[in-house]
Structure 1
């Protein structure tokens, strides 16, 4: 299996990856094909696919933020069972991020991720791919070390229609297991930067940010 970076929507592997995105994730979670042009060309955004026998069978998107020494996992897709795709993507991503932090003269502080909460909302459509079942994914991410940040979370829809997407937790995986809380300002600064591309912010998101700005720290809770 090969771990290949995609940097252009003209890459045939991107068309396969975007099709896989549409098969796996709900529509409000998938950015339109043409809107991927700039993100893919952004050197800070790292999109990789797992290619098995010429076929895109998985993908992950993530980014490293040197100013905060943290990373964000945008998504991980497992397109087929029985190939250890999840571990393959996780290990390659981890190696890449630690190298980026090293080049920044630091040890990676940790990584953010949005994680579906199927115990609250069960109507997720993941295209029938069993490894992408939200119950399975939540437990896998817990095993990796992700913990839930202690605040009610919503995010703006990637359709940019001003709707709030619910049914997720915002989580953080610290590199140091002794870390039990992180600065609220880090969460605020990151979320404002991450969703700057979407001008139509729902009121629920704006209120969430305002509530976080009034805090000093945010606790990490079991996932």
Structure 2
């Protein structure tokens, strides 16, 4: 299996990846094809695919923020079962992020991720790919060490239509053992940076950020 970076919508592997995203994710979670041009060309956004015999069988997008010394996993896609795609992507991503942090003269502080909460929403469609089932993913991420940040989370729809997307938790994987909370200011700064590309944010998201700005810390809780 190869770990190949995509930096252009002209890359045939990107066409495969975008089709895979449409198969796996709810439509409001998938950015329209042409709107990927700038993100893919952004050196700070890292999009990699797992390629097996010329076929994209998995993908992950993530980024490292040098000033915050944290990463964000935008998504991980496992397109087929029983190929070890999940561990392959997780290990390759971790190697890359630790190298980026080292190049920044630091040890990676941790990584954010948005994780579906299947206990909040009755049903999710994930293309029938069992490893993408929210119950499975949540347990896997818990075993990896992710914790839920203790506040009610919404995020702006990637359709940029001003709608709020619910049914997720904002989570964090600390690299330092014994980390039980995060500075609320780090979460606020991260969210504002991460969603700066979306101009049409829902009022519920704005209110959520305003409430976070009133806090000193936010606790990390197990799932």
1:167 paired to 2:164: no
Q: Which residue of 2 aligns with 1:74?
A: 74
Gaps of 5+ in 1: none
1:124 Cα deviation after fit: 1.2
Q: How does 1:48-197 map to 2 (within 5 A)?
A: 48-197=48-197
1:177 Cα deviation after fit: 2.0
3-state secondary structure, aligned to 2:125: coil
- Could you say what the CA RMSD is over the residues aligned between the two structures, in angstroms? 0.4
1:122 Cα deviation after fit: 2.5
Inter-partner Cα distance in structure 1 for 2:199 and 2:87: 35
Inter-partner Cα distance in structure 2 for 1:76 and 1:46: 12
Inter-partner Cα distance in structure 2 for 1:147 and 1:177: 12
Gaps of 5+ in 2: none
Listed one character per residue, the Cα deviations across residues 14-33 of structure 1 (whole Å, up to 9, x for unaligned) are 00000000000000000000
Q: Which residue of 1 aligns with 2:205?
A: 205
1:221 paired to 2:221: yes
3-state secondary structure, aligned to 1:191: helix
